[in-house]
Structure formats: structure tokens, C-alpha cells
Structure 1
Amino acid sequence: MGVAIRTAGEGDRELVVRLLDRAFQDDPVSGWVFPDPAHRRATHPKLMAAFLDIVLAEGRVDLTEDGTACALWLSVPADAHPENAEQGDDAAQLREAVDPDNERVELIGQLTAGIHPSGRAHEYLWMIAVAPDNQGRGLGTALVQHVLDRCDREGVAAYLEASCARSLKLYERLGFDLLGRPLDLPDGPQMWPMWREPQA
């Protein structure tokens, strides 16, 4: 049986923020950005909401019909330069809006922008979230494959940064390869940049 997927809109904002927050509360990178668990519980939803607002404005959010999984995608043109000064300004504004005293909110944006490939158009999987009690049912695979099928038809590459070893294996099964060295967060976990060429 297939997974029903639709495009999320503003009316889904609260649902998707809750979903992202639940799925990423225990993620290694979220734990690095917000080391104190109590502070993470209080502030993490604001970061997820800020990320979602960017993608609702500039990209696309795919949501399973039952609301238990979502994927945030941005289409990156060939002439985009993710590491430019504007990205640094965006990261600083994000920190100011979410958690002004937490430099890691800004740093994570700067570091991921610094490893983001440029020169070729691609679809960027910024985040994918599956509700914890629905993981292992193939929802994440269905959400990613939904876009990869279009990438293959249109001859477009795809890119992401995996934030844990378990997701790394999933992305490898979907045709992604490691791109360069992992990103070592200062005194924190690794993130793995991954690239997928369109497949025939």
C-alpha cells in the first residue's frame, strides 16, 4: 500500500512544527545546539518553527496525509552560493529571533552553508521528520523517494546533510553518496554531506 503525500501549507504550520520538534528533540545535532535538556524543550520548537517558515516561503513541505511525517525541500539553482555573506546574515537573524544568547544556533547555519555544494542545480532535503511512534514503517523512505523520482525524471541532483548514523544508511540505500569529509561540529557530533546524481 502506498503512502499518501500532499503539499503542506500555512494551515499545517502548527502540526508540522510539533512533528519536527518531536522528531528532532533527541537528535544529536539538536542536542549539540541546545545541550541543556530543559532549555531544549523550551526553545527547540522556536527553531523548528523558524526553519519551517523559511521553507514554506521559499521551498516545499511534503506531508503524509495522516500528518505523521514530513520533508522540507528547497530547490537550489546552479548559481546559488550558500556560503556567501547573505547566509551569514540569515544565521545571525535566526539566532536573534530564536535564542540570542546561544551562538550555536548561528554557528550551525554557518557551518552547513560552508559545506553546501554550489555550481549545480539540485534539490536540498533540509529536514525530514517522522513521529517517533511511526518510525520504521517506511514513511521517511516514501517522502524522499517521492522527490527523487521527480529528480530522476528531470535529471536533477539531490543533496542533504545526515545528522545521525541511522539516517546515513537510509540515504545510502536511496542512492546518496558521501560528499567529501564529514562536518565535525565543535565539541559535538558529525554531520555527513551526501549527494545523489539523477538515476536513469
Structure 2
Amino acid sequence: MDRIVRPATRADVAELSEVLGRAFYDDPPFVWVLPDDDVRRRKLAGLFRLLLTSVHLARGGCEVCVRDGRITAGTMWDPPDDWQTSTVTELMQLPSLMVLLGRHFFAGIRGLSALNLLADVHPHEPHWYLGVIGTDPAAQGGGFGRALMESRLSRCDETGIPAYLESSKESNIPYYERFGFEVRDKVTLPRGGPSIYPMWRDPAG
């Protein structure tokens, strides 16, 4: 099975957003923000499209894994010292977020408040930040996520730069531990929200 890992481009945004929307359909923080299953199914791809086009794609760390010409998985990595979204950018996102979410807009604002909690515990040391990694459910188990992880982490090891992520599922912690990540903290979102687990990885070697 051929797995091609390459940088994501603007031409990938539509397909990648759909893949990530399916991948994160049952993700606890998104279920917490958008508890209605049908609403979440219809809105997630748009949310990822907004994140890609307004923030992450321009930072140069997004990658996709492709099989037979189709995107099977993707990542949004942010480079050292460029992981935090400015207040100006967040304000610029609001009109698009209002159009996308409609009457669910304030649920989206609740999600942004959760991001602020995670920002409070985000490490200050230079690192590559894995904000998003997702595989299309139809392709899970095919090694596509592993290929994406190894693509970036091998470069982290070559350059001696740590990596950081937040696991939104406790059940995913062993998966990340296999790549050398260790749990650093536990952040529980308010109003009955799920727990999220910040994880850190020192470069190998």
C-alpha cells in the first residue's frame, strides 16, 4: 500500500477539511461544543476549512497522507514560536464563524474559551505543536497517521526540537506514547466538559 506524505496546499483544503470533519465527528471536545449529531456532522468540515485557511496552512506545517490520489489523513503542525493565534486573527474569524454556525454561534464561542484554557498550560519552550491529526474513519488502521507522525518527528529529531500535542481522548494516550510523548498535565473543560491531556516529546538521540 503506497502512502505518500507531502505538504498540504490550498488546493487540498476542501478535501482535507472533509476528511478531518469525519475523523473528529466523535471527538469529545467537539461533541461537547456541538452535542447535536446532525449539526456536528454538517458543521465540522467548515470549521476545519476556516482553521486551515485563516491560520494553519500559512504557517507551513500542515501535511497530508495520500493513497491512490485521495487524501486519507492530515495534520496541522505549527512551527516553533508560531503556535498562538493572535487576538486580531480571532476577531477576523468571527464573521465567518457566525455565517458557518448560525444559531450555534455561541457554542463555537464556548469552544474558543476552551482553547484559552489550553493556552494557559501551553509550554513556552520552542517546539513543534501538533494541533490536529486525523485519519478518515474509512482508512483508519492503515498506518496513515503513523506515516504523518513519523514525517514530522523524524525532522524534530534531526534538528533537536521537541514536539507537543493535546490528546482529546484518554484512550489515545498509549498511541502517542509509542512515538515518545509523555503526559504533562490534565485540563478539564468547564460545564461538564471532557478532559484533555497535554503531552510533550523530547527529540530522540
Q: TM-score, normalised by structure 1?
A: 0.88
Cα distance in 2 between the residues matched to 1:81 and 1:144: 18
Cα distance in 1 between the residues matched to 2:94 and 2:23: 21
In structure 1, what is the equivalent of residue 52 of structure 2? 52
In structure 2, what is the equivalent of residue 169 of structure 1? 174
In structure 1, what is the equivalent of residue 23 of structure 2? 23
Query: Structure 1's 138 and 166: CA in aligned 2 closer, same or farther, altered over 3 A?
Result: farther
Cα distance in 1 between the residues matched to 2:19 and 2:204: 31
Cα distance in 2 between the residues matched to 1:131 and 1:81: 25
Q: Does 1:196 align with 2:198?
A: no
Count of residues paired in the alignment: 193
Query: Structure 1's 58 and 105: CA in aligned 2 closer, same or farther, altered over 3 A?
Result: same
Cα distance in 1 between the residues matched to 2:92 and 2:138: 34
In structure 2, what is the equivalent of residue 125 of structure 1? 130
Offset of residue 38 of structure 1: 2.4
Give the unaligned 5+ runs of structure 2. Answer: none
Cα distance in 1 between the residues matched to 2:34 and 2:123: 27
Offset of residue 93 of structure 1: 4.8
AA of the residue aligned to 1:134: A
* Structure 1 moving runs of 4+ over 3 Å: 86-96
Work out whether residues 78 and 128 of structure 2, in 8 Å CA contact, stay in contact via their aligned partners in 1.
Answer: yes
Which secondary structure state, in structure 2, belongs to the residue aligned with residue 147 of structure 1?
helix
Give the unaligned 5+ runs of structure 1. Answer: none
Over the matched positions of the two proteins, sequence identity in percent amounts to: 34
Cα distance in 2 between the residues matched to 1:188 and 1:108: 9
Query: Structure 1's 37 and 135: CA in aligned 2 closer, same or farther, altered over 3 A?
Result: same
Query: Structure 1's 115 and 94: CA in aligned 2 closer, same or farther, altered over 3 A?
Result: farther
Which secondary structure state, in structure 2, belongs to the residue aligned with residue 114 of structure 1?
helix
Q: Does 1:108 align with 2:109?
A: no
Work out whether residues 65 and 147 of structure 2, in 8 Å CA contact, stay in contact via their aligned partners in 1.
Answer: no
Query: Structure 1's 160 and 27: CA in aligned 2 closer, same or farther, altered over 3 A?
Result: same
Offset of residue 64 of structure 1: 1.1
- 1:30-70 Cα offsets, whole Å, 9 max, x none, are 10111122221232222111122211112322111221011
In structure 2, what is the equivalent of residue 71 of structure 1? 75
Cα distance in 1 between the residues matched to 2:173 and 2:90: 25
AA of the residue aligned to 2:122: H
Q: TM-score, normalised by structure 2?
A: 0.86
